[in-house]
């Protein structure tokens, strides 16, 4: 799977941009040798004729970021994980294109739909944990929608291989989905499984309510303090939306990391 040179694809045009985050952007570009789509007349881009290219922004990334991320991503092969194709150049890699947007655009949905999306996310995480890899930045923005409304986990820039103990090296994550044990910069390691389960729980809340429950889990944050005290707007709204989901999320967001359930346990509850 190869891609054309950037200069041949007008990659700076608005139509070429899949998405953009704090440390990278994802663009679509033609596959080598494809001038016209063989399946769709006047096609503006589909899986038959384009590939996604993730470009790292070096001003925010250290120089071994691409090698570290691509090495981990290349080890992953699961229907709920975006496929890795190959490294393109010193700061970009070719990956599977997904045309359905992200789960960040899908907040405040029904419990039925949220359960389906969460099963996809947890299946990907269970697979990763089984091969001793933690994602460490699970959030709605990193969950893409592919064919048949299937969630595909993406962005392995924070991912890390886990030691036999389950601990792993931590890199910069997202404050809204980071658990309390990693909320401070001086924390450099943690349980990858427990961190991912917490982040998946926050993502579940986002899908049901359409917003993050808090900006951070640092102790001065009122929303998180209210949650720990079993009160506040988020606690009440979630319990009203679905007592079933509420009971699961409370377990996923246990403040004691080792008490959080395994992904396979949460999957069994959501079936």
| Residues catalogued as catalytic | 137
Residue 109 is classified by DSSP as: -
DSSP H helices, the chain, are 65-74, 111-130, 192-209, 222-228, 233-241, 243-252, 263-270
8 Å CB contact between 54 and 99: no
Q: Which of 173, 104, 103 is nearest to 134 (CA)?
A: 173
Any idea of the CA torsion for 223, 228, 231, 237, to the nearest 10 degrees?
Answer: 70
38's tokens: 């063989």
What is the rounded CA–CA span in Å between residue 45 and residue 233?
A: 43
Burial class (CB in 10 A: 0-12, 13-18, 19+), 172: middle
Q: Which of 3, 172, 153 is nearest to 82 (CA)?
A: 153
Burial class (CB in 10 A: 0-12, 13-18, 19+), 8: exposed
8 Å CB contact between 170 and 160: yes
């Amino acid at each position: 799977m190869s891609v054309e040179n950037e200069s041949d694809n007008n990659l700076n045009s608005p139509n070429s941009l899949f998405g953009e985050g704090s440390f990278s952007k994802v663009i679509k570009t033609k596959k080598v040798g494809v001038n016209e789509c063989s399946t769709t007349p006047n096609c503006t881009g589909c899986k038959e004729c384009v590939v996604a290219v993730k470009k790292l922004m070096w001003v925010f990334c250290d120089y071994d970021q691409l090698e570290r991320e691509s090495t981990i991503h290349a080890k992953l092969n699961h229907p709920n994980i975006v496929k890795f194709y190959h490294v393109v150049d010193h700061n970009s890699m070719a990956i599977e294109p997904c045309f359905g947007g992200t789960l960040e655009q899908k907040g405040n949905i029904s419990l039925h739909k949220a359960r389906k999306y969460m099963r996809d996310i947890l299946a990907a995480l269970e697979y990763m944990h089984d091969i001793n890899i933690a994602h460490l930045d699970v959030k709605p923005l990193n969950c893409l929608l592919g064919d048949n409304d299937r969630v595909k986990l993406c962005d392995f820039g924070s991912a890390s291989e886990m030691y036999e103990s389950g601990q792993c090296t931590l890199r910069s994550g997202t404050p809204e989905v980071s658990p309390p044990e990693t909320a401070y910069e001086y924390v450099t390691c943690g349980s990858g499984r427990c961190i991912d389960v917490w982040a998946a729980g926050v993502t579940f809340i986002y899908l049901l309510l359409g917003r993050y429950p808090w900006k951070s889990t640092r102790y001065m944050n009122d929303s998180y303090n209210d949650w720990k005290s079993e009160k506040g707007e988020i606690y009440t709204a979630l319990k009203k939306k679905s007592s079933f989901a509420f009971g699961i999320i409370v377990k996923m967001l246990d403040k004691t990391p080792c008490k959080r359930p395994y992904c396979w346990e949460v999957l069994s509850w959501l079936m």
